[in-house]
Structure 1
Amino acid sequence: MSPSTAHQFTANILIVDDQDAKRMALAAALEPLGHNVVLASSGREALRLLLQDEYAVILLDVRMPDMDGFETASFIRSRQQTELTPIIFVTAHDRAEADMLGGYSLGAVDFIFSPVRAEVLRAKASVFVELHLKTLTVQSHERRLRELEAREAQEIQERLRHEREQERRQAQQEMRKLSSALEQTADPVFITSRDGTIEYVNPAFETVTGYSRAEALGQRPNLLNSGTHASTLFQDMWETLLRGEAYRSEVVNRRKNRTLYYEEKTVTPIKDERGVITHFVSTGKDVTERKRIEAELLALNTLLEERVQQRTAELEEVNAELEAFAYSISHDLRTPLRHIASFADLLQRDTEQLLPVKAAKHLGIIQDSARRMDWLINDLLEFARTGRQDLNFHPVPLENLVQEVIRHLQAEDGGSSVQWNVHSLPVLYGDLPALRQVLTNLLSNAMKYSRDRVQPRIEIWGTTGVDEQIIHVRDNGVGFDMAYSHKLFGVFQRLHSPAAFEGSGIGLANVKRIVLRHGGRVWAESHENQGATFSFALPQRHALIQVVDTS
């Protein structure tokens, strides 16, 4: 601690002497110290002054009438406030030894002998003054520190109080939210004590159960027991809850009016800060309407299954009839047709060069019509078989299959001059014979409708769509008017005259039926005299649902 810090205080110095001259001399000697010098003419006056103020040092004359210095010192030391105040006794040289012995026994810190030397007095007094000032400074710092600590403690206390107040308000707000949520929720909620006594129910509980709050409070949850559940259900519930776990179940409850209702119930144990279960909260959801709808759906599904079985039986009967019809076409209709064709051929050979030109023309029309009728019957039977045959799905490398179909078509056409352009093709998942028929129909159609071109060109390529593989077949043939594209894939639908292009109009219908049974789709795009592009897409997956074409 620096002197400048200590000297910010002024010390009191008490001079006690019954002789005015000696008091004034001592005061004059101490005046240069710049502190407050207080004079007392007797020991009693000194004691009175000590009761009023605090002193850095006391200069006490040993020899005084009435109450000498030793008696005064004894009283000074007897008081707790002054027991440590430094006392310098002033005595004569001739009594130094006796006075010093008594003075030190009374706690004297030093002695000054008369006549007093001013510089010695100042030196001795200044030591105790300086010590006193430092003590005052330390005490001041301690008081300041205590004040700061008290202020800081008060601020902390105030902040904590404010935080607690905020937390209390937030807790109250959360409680209001929770209370409002419980009161306004559409689902029934009730809270019980640990022994199962109902302590709270929300308005939804009253609405669903029919029991008022007054009727429910103090009761137990078996108030709602429908009697339809085994006792083991409630035993399992309590065992689960007492383990501290939530219990969930669907139960049947009974309302106040004795009607039953279904409820999805969740019961949750509530624990205190020690982890001890104190309450249970039950939340439910009335699912009676949903159960009614489920029962109706179950009954409807049962009815639909019966109808499906009935419809399946009817379809099997119709299929049997169709098979009988196909058999009739194959045998009963083809027999007279063969007779017509055979006898027409015999008639032509027998009357060659004998019939008039007009009659020979009519005979030729009969022969052509018989052959065309035979083609139609064959194609119709093939179309019927396409819808009935089972499909066996396997990976089919399409590029190999396309090359196989091209070689077959070229052999039948006697080495056609078609320019084939086959790009990289994917592996499809489908029935090999059925896909062979699709490609045969599409490629033969492309050859047929482009054969009048100087250089027929047919291009085959594949693309990848969203979850599907797409195959395209493009030719540079006569094309067709897109206004009639909806007729392309119908049975016996043709966009060109039979005289211009042969065919029965069943090939593309077969293509559509096969592709649909693979779960795919088929379409075509064209402009007249600018060729046509036929496309079909099959799903990219390894488990396909066979789609039966009922058109």
Structure 2
Amino acid sequence: MTPNEHGQEGAGNPPAVSRASILLVDDHPSNLLALEAILEPLGQDLVRATSGEEALKHLLHRDFAVILMDVQMPGMDGFQTASLIKQRERTRTTPIIFLTALSRDADHVFKGYAHGAVDYLLKPFDPEILRSKVSVFVDLFLKEQQIQRQGALLRQREREALEQLSELRYRRLTESLPEAMWAARADGTLTYANRAWRDYTGRHSERTLSLATFLEDVHPADRERLRTTWTQAVRHGLRVEREFRLKRFDGVYRWHMARAVPERDEDGRVAGWLAVATDIDDKRRAEQSLASFKATLDATLDCVLMFSPDSLTLTYANAGAARQLHGTVEELMGLGILDVESAFDEEGFRKLLAPLMSGTLPSQTYTTTHRRRDGSEVPVEVMLQFIPGDEGPGRFISVARDITERQRAETALRLASEAKDAFLAAASHELRTPLAAAKGHAHLALLKLGGQTEAGPGKSLKIINRQIDRMAKLVEDLLDISRLQAGRLSLELERFDLRTLVNETRDRMAVLSQAHELTVEGPESLEGTWDRGRVEQVLTNLLSNAIRYSPEGGQVRVRLLRDGDTGVHLVVQDQGVGIPREKQALIFERFGRAHGSKYGGLGLGLTISQGIVEQHGGRIWVESAGVLGKGSAFHVWLPRETEAPSPHVGNGPPPAS
């Protein structure tokens, strides 16, 4: 038989196939002989192969209805041969039945199916069953061949019908085109214009169709140039493209792109012309807007880059980018953005881009470094935005500002702040000695005067002594701030009853103001391990603030709450002036005061309190509506057992509900 009789690919229609080919693959001739004896009654072509390589050669020359393949073969086994068969487009759907007498375990059977087998038979097998299964695939193959022949015949008839109706269909097609189209003879004389041109220009009579009437609708500034272009194209028989403005029926000119193509006969001579004009007015306007936009970007001093979201390749760089990156615009174009954004790898950078592409974030602002063309780096602040495209994937715009000078200024400011802190710490230490001496002498003088402190020198000494105490408190606060800044605020832990400490502090603070009612609520006993002196310092500061910021008096409530077995929750609530919401973060900063200097104080107490609480592994926060009369509530959460002091402990667990 010829190759085509077995389904070899060819340019013509598939020939009639009355018999199918069956490929038998086994390295034992006796097994092949047995298979032929079983399948001979089917009346099909049986093709032998004694190895996987020989089977692949047969598959190059003909198509098979089914392949019966032994699994165990020397060299290339059945599984390997099947894998190669399935990789080839022409044979990937050919059914394969594996035959084996050795590998009966389930894993081996599954492996056979994984390599594309339609069945896996174990020897010895029933000849009738094998013959029945093979006959099914033979019938399927023959029916598929018949369908292919019928399809080819149908396509041939359709082509004949199309050829008969080609001119009518051509006319209908051109009439339905949304773009203006013309046909012309070889000498350039116009013979036809489609509906789109007639509707656009309002010229519905074909009798008026001519080159002269066509040029009447072309903008005067483009008319002669278009006439010359058309004449040259007709003379030389060359394809031509030209942009020009064409007048619409309402008198509006719109830009079009015209393409004229010569039609040639069998001898290569020009037999006619086809021309199509595409409206590009909107595109030109968009390009002009983009050009104007890019001109604006070119004028900015910042580094402006555009890059593709798919390839991350730079598609635009302005003059500012060239200056900042020490290169030319031409050198930057085509680079990857990661060649510039040197601090990122691709995975991390795409994570940064993801919320912009999804619309979750309108923009991203971050600080990084840009790598210059000479390898040096420049610190920048980048503002990144994604601009979706009407068509296509859109683009990213990166605006990067050189922050070298800003970083220098920030460094200078930080050094100045550190110098100030160092000065305050040194000054505070130096002030302690003369204050202690002044305190001692004032105390001795008061003792010598006995009880005479209501008038004369005694009264003055009493005032001096009080001011020395105030000065000492300020010095201690400054020293605590210095210790916090340096991470040297130490804790002396001991076990005590917090309720007792709260009561003692309440009693001591109650003496300072008769206009305030200080109450304590909560369990009668609440033991834990903390620094007693430091916790008392926090309580004193919170109660002092509650009294200070409640100038009209009122109730100050201290509530103690158990937070399970692991923590305690303390709340100090006043009825004073409150704290505006926008100032609530400020009050925990150094020298931060929500109400300025109106109520006194340096603005250090809450900063120190926060440091002490966090040193214990706890958390302090405020709740206030900022309304006069509703006051503020300061919350402190502490663990019941403070294990080891650490100057860098963060916020503790969430507050108790």
- Tell me which structure has the larger Cα radius of gyration: 1
The alignment's TM-score, normalised by the length of structure 1, stands at 0.33
Q: Which has the higher contact order (CA 8 A, sep 6+)?
A: 1
The alignment's TM-score, normalised by the length of structure 2, stands at 0.28
